Structure 1
Amino acid sequence: MTTRNPSQTTSKLQAKNKKESIYAALFSPYQSPYKYQIYFINQSTSSQDLDYLIDIVQTSTDFIIDTESAFKSNIPALIQIYFLQSTRIQSPLLLVEIQHLPHYSTALFSQLKKLFYCIFNVKSHFYSWGPLTNELRSFSSCLLFTFPLYVITHDLQSQFKTWFNTWITSYDSTSINESITTDDVVIINAPTYDPHLLLPTSLMNKKKFNSHESWSLQHAVLYTFGLHLSKRETLRQWDIGLDINLPTCDHSFSINYRQKLINYACLDCVSVAHINLFMHQSELPLDLTFVKEQIITGEYFVSTKSNVASDIFQLDDACSSSSFEQIDAQVMAVHVPNDRHQSMPLITSMDSQHLVSVSPLESTPDEIITNLNSQSVECSPHKRSNNAKRRKNQKSSLRHRRKRYHHEIIRPANMKITSIKQLLRKNHIKYLNIHVVHSTLFIGVKSDGFKQLYEQIIPADMFV
């Protein structure tokens, strides 16, 4: 059994809190266009509420599914089920408290099982952020449903990855050909101090699309809507009993604590519904590899074009261009064939007029002192010659240039420097220096974080 290093856990938690604080400071909190009515499903649920929900589910075919497990113990705690209907309708959102269900021998449990039988119908479409089987497998012990699941499943997380790549590519090409007002675009300058927290949209898309890394729901909401979906409540005690009316709920937790968990659980569901709606509104094809059957169109699919902007992160072009041009003005090459980091030879020559010739074999100490004193009086104040200044500047420039290649990316290239720069700027690659030697491109970047990032998103044949 492997044990987690406490220092690693603390470091990971600190990084998460830092990210949450930055996101909360930069972006407005997420608000969904969907309306919902919360129904706690537990031993205190009334028979009348269950009858009402059973009636509604008869006319519903689309549901958002999510789950939560208790922190540390990892026992199944909560299933969220959102009835996906029109944004104009206040739809039921069920919070099924697995550890507080009625006994399976009671009439209330039989009624609850009937509700789940209607939901887990062969005509039902289940939408989830990630594979649904993984979400529900550990919850089968609650006896409300069985495996295999005879429903139509939609893995929106996997669909989103390919859809977003198509969408951002389409948006970028449209932006070039059409005039877009600033009212349609939310521009946020990604901070340069930590590329792992925020990136320009195009870079984040390439990072995700060209790797096996999946989109988290938080990042999907952030980069699609420019809003912050908080994840502070992810690791919490979800089995305490969210319904304050539960006789078995843990009263050591405050009402405010419960309300935060309830709000988190609801927003996790409706944000998935919002992304699903937006993907269909985009009128771009979805990858049906992650759907068992053809998608059945529902009322929540709107065919009108959405005006929500995608490229919410852009670098400050004016600032970037000026800094790039200042760097490009220096033409001293650092990389030379076969010896890219060879130091310049030391400059040992000096102007002859500033040298004092002393021959100890021919002069006595007193004579030497006399000669030195007389020459020091006659010499003019020390000044560097133009050649000496030029050599000093070259050494200084070369030293600073080497620092810019401390974090270096190497790619094959047969393009002109101007074309390479244009391509790097178009893809929001922040470089300090670039140089081509014998069809090899050397790109100097600011930090190791940028180097690791760009190594992933810059294809090997990008400059060929």
Structure 2
Amino acid sequence: MPTKKSLKNRRRFEHKNEKELTYEELFPPYEPLYKYCIYFINEVTSEEEINYLITIAQTTTHFVIDTECNCTSKTPALIQIYFVTSLDIASPLLLVEIDFLPHYSSSLFLKFKELFDYIFSLRSILYSWGFISDELNRFLPCKLFSLPIRTTNYNTQGHFKSWFNQWIKKYYSSSPDNINEDVNDIVIINAPAYDPTLILPTQLMNDKKFSSGETWSLQDAVVYTFGQYLSKRETLRRWSIGLDVKLPTRDTSFSSNYRKKLINYACLDCVSVAHIHLIMQQSKIPLDTNYIHQEPQTSGEYILSNNLTVLSDMFQLSDDSSSSSEEYHTELVAVHVPNERHQSPSHIIQMDYQQETEAPALVPPTVPRSHKRSSIAKKKRNQKTSRRHRANRYNYEIIRPANMKITSIKKLLRENHIKYTNIHVVHSVLYIGVKSDGHKRLYEQLLPSHMFV
């Protein structure tokens, strides 16, 4: 009999496949803006190749980095590093095959370490989708580098959420006359007739990411920024098979076509991050330094520059309109204030009204009671208080038909990142209380009418 964990993994796998099919049907394949030339780093890498790469690394300061692990064993398998240079040049993209490196005492391995020393130098900036230091920690046993690395690490995924929110708000706040509809870098996805757990209109997806605290996947970021489909089917794969066909010790049970799919996936994961960062840079939206991390150094000094090199104003947006994430929260969080026992600093961000204050009334001192309340009186008082609090939880209410157990309903709501204040089923009708009118409007779009039937 399958366990709860296996059933959950199966549902997640089915949802992922359904999402892949939906994206593949709706959008053209992702076309990289950056050109690249693949270099395999393994035991058959020539000395000429490694010397050339070292020379290029000495004059390159911007790199995109990603890693892959084997799906079952979770062992480190691949490091991808893209040299970000000019759009007109096919820059090196390294595929470092961990299980096919030469012995660490060999002269070739020492050359690999020298290459990593230049890439991870103090002057370098590493771009990644997520916190790269956590991923690199698993690759320490390969002995190509040591931690902490001395680079400036830029978490593009972390910055993307706030940038996209400002970008979309700026787009919608611009007058129609100032918007060039031919610009391919503005993608506004209108409401399709698809499951809202798979795809949403642009504004709703942006609201969903903020209200749930959910991070943007690279695939979603590419869809909503470029209107193109970046396949993630090869995410959970066995990578230690020897991608380089020149490797004599490669696993020959895998076809060359399968290898090409893995190689293409690994490369596009890097160049798409570089593409997204370029668009963010060109948008003239200020750089968020919260997602730039400089590892502490034992010596020397590093000064971080906040100046952006703006190549062109591709978006044709009005400079008069700008929105901050703080303004967004003001708009989303409605005037409903939960009772005190349900309030917490993380939930109460900012209210869009000012609470009226009154001068304290002069009340004559009360005479202490000589007797305590009876248990029956306490019970009545508690019931009255509970009814009042319960009513407050349904100030903003979503109604759906339901014939499921409460535990199953709660599980579905959690899986879809729906934050509710209370739920109740009466005669096959589900009542979902939510925090504000903004949440209600958002969740009405996210919850299909047949979801709990």
Q: Does TM-score exceed 0.5, indicating one fold?
A: yes
Q: Does 1:31 align with 2:31?
A: yes
Q: Residue 271 of structure 2 aligns with which residue?
A: 270
Letter in 2 for 1:76: P
Give CA deviations for 1:420-458 in whole Å, capped at 9, x if unaligned.
Answer: xxx999x88867xxxxxxxxxxxx9753769xxxxxxxx
Aligned to 1:141: 141
Please state if 1:249 is matched with 2:226.
no
In 2, Cα distance between equivalents of 1:164 and 1:105: 47
Partner of 2:259: 258
1:429 and 1:182 mapped to 2: Cα distance?
Answer: 30
Q: Which amino acid aligns with 1:66?
A: D
Deviation at 1:130, TM superposition (A): 0.3
Question: How many angstroms does 1:179 deviate by?
Answer: 4.9
How many pairs does the alignment contain?
Answer: 336
184-193 or 63-72, larger mean C-alpha shift: 184-193
The C-alpha deviation readout for 1:50-85, integer Å capped at 9, x for no partner, is 000011111101100000001101110000000011
Task: Indicate how the Cα distance of structure 1 residues 5 and 150 shifts in structure 2: closer, same or farther if over 3 A, else same.
Answer: same
Q: Is the 8 A contact 1:104 1:110 kept in 2?
A: yes
In 1, distance between residues paired with 2:229 and 2:142?
33
Q: Which residue of 1 aligns with 2:11?
A: 11
CA contact (8 A) 1:407 1:446 kept: no
- Kept in 2, the 8 Å contact 1:39–1:95? The answer is yes
Provide the rounded CA distance (Å) in 1 between the counterparts of 2:316 and 2:225.
8
DSSP-derived class of the 1:168 partner: helix
Matched, 1:237 2:238: yes
| Structure-1 residue corresponding to 2:44 | 44
Query: 1:436-447, aligned counterparts within 5 Å?
Result: 447=449
Distance 2:161 2:310 in 1: 21
Partner of 1:205: 206
Q: CA offsets per residue over residues 108-132 of structure 1, 9 Å max, x none?
A: 1111111111111011101110011
What do the CA deviations read for 1:3-39 (whole angstroms, capped 9, x no partner)?
A: 8733322222111111101100000000111000000
Where do 5+ consecutive residues of structure 1 fail to align?
Answer: 310-336, 342-401, 414-422, 432-443, 451-464
Distance 1:219 1:146, change over 3 A: same
- 1: CA distance, partners of 2:7 / 2:443: 34
Aligned to 2:311: 303
SS of the residue corresponding to residue 80 of structure 2 reads strand
Counterparts of 2:118 and 2:192, CA distance in 1: 49
Q: Does 1:81 align with 2:71?
A: no
Amino acid at match of 1:294: L
TM-score (normalised: structure 1): 0.66
Kept after mapping to 2: 8 A contact 1:70/1:235: yes
Q: Which amino acid aligns with 1:84?
A: V
Q: Distance in 2 between matches of 1:243 and 1:6?
A: 34
Aligned to 1:58: 58
- Give a deviation string over 1:302-328, Cα, whole Å, max 9, x none: 42011499xxxxxxxxxxxxxxxxxxx
Query: Is the CA contact 2:37–2:90 (under 8 Å) kept in the aligned structure 1?
Result: yes
TM-score (norm 2): 0.68
For 1:233-254, what per-residue CA distance to the aligned partner results, in whole angstroms no more than 9, with x for missing partners? 0001111110011111100000
Identity of aligned residues (%): 50
Gapped regions of structure 2 (runs ≥ 5): 295-302, 318-390, 398-425
Counterparts in 2 of 1:38 and 1:446: CA distance versus 1, 3 Å: closer
- SS of the residue aligned with 1:256? helix
What is the alpha-carbon root mean square deviation over aligned residues?
3.3
